[in-house]
């Protein structure tokens, strides 16, 4: 794309209205479902950080904690993606890759707990709200 084309794209974007919507209604529904059905273990970020390799892989997504060790070899995007985020929060990577409803529901199989309230980023009053802009 040359500079002139880039300029026209910028003008179009400037003049178009931006609409923000919740990222994934399915993920929001899944989170509510998980919260209501299970009394989850509280797992700290320090504990998650100890599980950061391909034979012991824990991830935090939307403040829920998942043990993805048994899923690493099955992950359609390759095991490297999960290992890259092993032992830490993978919420933005999960969102950015555009997972399907099936993938979101599959997470429930690996759920082992949730972060304590003082370590949460998303599911707390005044927490980070993620939206997409179309």
Query: Over the stretch 60-109, which tens digit does the pLDDT of each residue have?
Result: 999 999 999 999 999 988 889 899 999 999 999 998 888 888 888 999 99
In a domain, 2, yes or no: no
The neighbour count for residue 13, using CB atoms within 10 Å, is 9
Q: How many other β-carbons are positioned within 10 Å of the β-carbon of residue 71?
A: 17
Question: What is the tally of structural domains in the chain?
Answer: 1
Q: What is the CATH number of the domain that holds 77?
A: 3.10.120.10
9: exposed, middle or buried (Cβ count in 10 Å: 0-12, 13-18, 19+): exposed
User: 68 lies in which domain range?
Assistant: 17-133
Say what the pLDDT of residue 19 is.
42
Q: Is residue 69 part of a domain?
A: yes
4 pLDDT above the threshold of 80 = no
Would residue 5 count as lying in a domain? no
């Amino acid at each position: 794309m040359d500079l002139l084309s880039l300029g026209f794209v910028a003008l179009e974007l400037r003049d178009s209205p931006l609409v923000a919507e919740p990222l994934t209604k399915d993920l929001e529904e899944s989170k509510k479902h998980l919260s209501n059905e299970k009394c989850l273990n509280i797992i700290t970020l320090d504990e998650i950080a100890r599980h950061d390799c391909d034979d012991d892989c824990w991830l935090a997504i939307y403040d829920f904690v998942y043990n993805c060790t048994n899923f690493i070899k099955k992950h359609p995007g390759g095991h490297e993606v999960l290992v890259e985020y092993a032992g830490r929060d993978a919420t933005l990577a999960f969102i950015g890759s555009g997972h399907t409803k099936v993938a979101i529901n599959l997470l429930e199989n690996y759920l082992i707990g949730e972060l304590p309230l003082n370590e949460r980023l998303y599911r707390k009053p005044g927490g980070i709200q993620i939206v997409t802009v179309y």
